[in-house]
Structure formats: C-alpha cells, structure tokens
A = this chain, B = another copy of it.
Amino acid sequence: MKKINFKSKFEKFNDHWSPKLIAEMNDYQFKLAKIKHDFIWHEHKDTDEVFIVISGVIWIEFKDETIQINAGEMIVVPKGTKHRPYAIEEAQIMLIEPKGVINTGDIESDLTAPNDQWI
C-alpha cells in the first residue's frame, strides 16, 4: 500500500502539457501535468474530465466564458464541451479521467501526448 506525494511526483518531470500517470482507481486514472501558455481547443466526446489545480493559476476558455481556476480549486468539464486550457505562468494540475483518454481529445496535434506515462 503506497501513498502518493504530489510535490515529489512533480519533481520528476519538467515538460509541459504531457500528463504523467500517478494512480489508478478502478478504470480511472490520476495524472499530474505542468502546463504553461496555450493549449488547443478540443473536446472529449465520451467523458467528463476533472481539473484540480495544485499550484499556480490556470484558465479554461469555453465557448461563452473563461473560468480562472486557482490552487485549491477544481472544475468538471462536461463531456462534449469544447474547451481550451491555458496558463500564463507555469501551473501544476491533476487530471482525473477514464483510462485511454487522449489529452487533445478529438484533435491530433503536436501537443498530443502519449498515454500511460507512469512516474
């Protein structure tokens, strides 16, 4: 039985927009990512997606509004909702979503990251 320390895990990587897998619960995955600057517009057709901000500040742009999410806050992006995350300064986030979800959703991009990068 092993606990997971977010700070220790974040020390293991420095690349942006490339989620690292830290835990699985049933068929769901917990991933940490460092993000900075702009991501692309995309959606996940089959699943909701949770963003939890561990440190820093992120924004998620939706069709009609942009939400600022600070450390100690979370948001559920409903399935099929086009969204574009970004951060001005580097931020540390945790993503929770089912196994197999691609970070760029329905879009193939230079930002598309491989899945199941355990750290």
Residues of A within 8 A of B (CB): 1-7, 23-26, 28, 30, 47-50, 54, 60, 62, 65, 67-70, 72-77, 79, 81, 96-98
Contacts and interface: CB of A to CB of B under 8 A. Distances in A.
Contacts of A3: 67-69, 73-75
B6 A76 contact: no
Number of copies: 2
Given A50-B30, A69-B3, A23 B76 contact: yes
A74 B23 contact: yes
Given A48-B26, A49-B25, A1 B75 contact: yes
A8 to B, nearest CB: 9
Contact of A28 (B28, B54, B77): B28
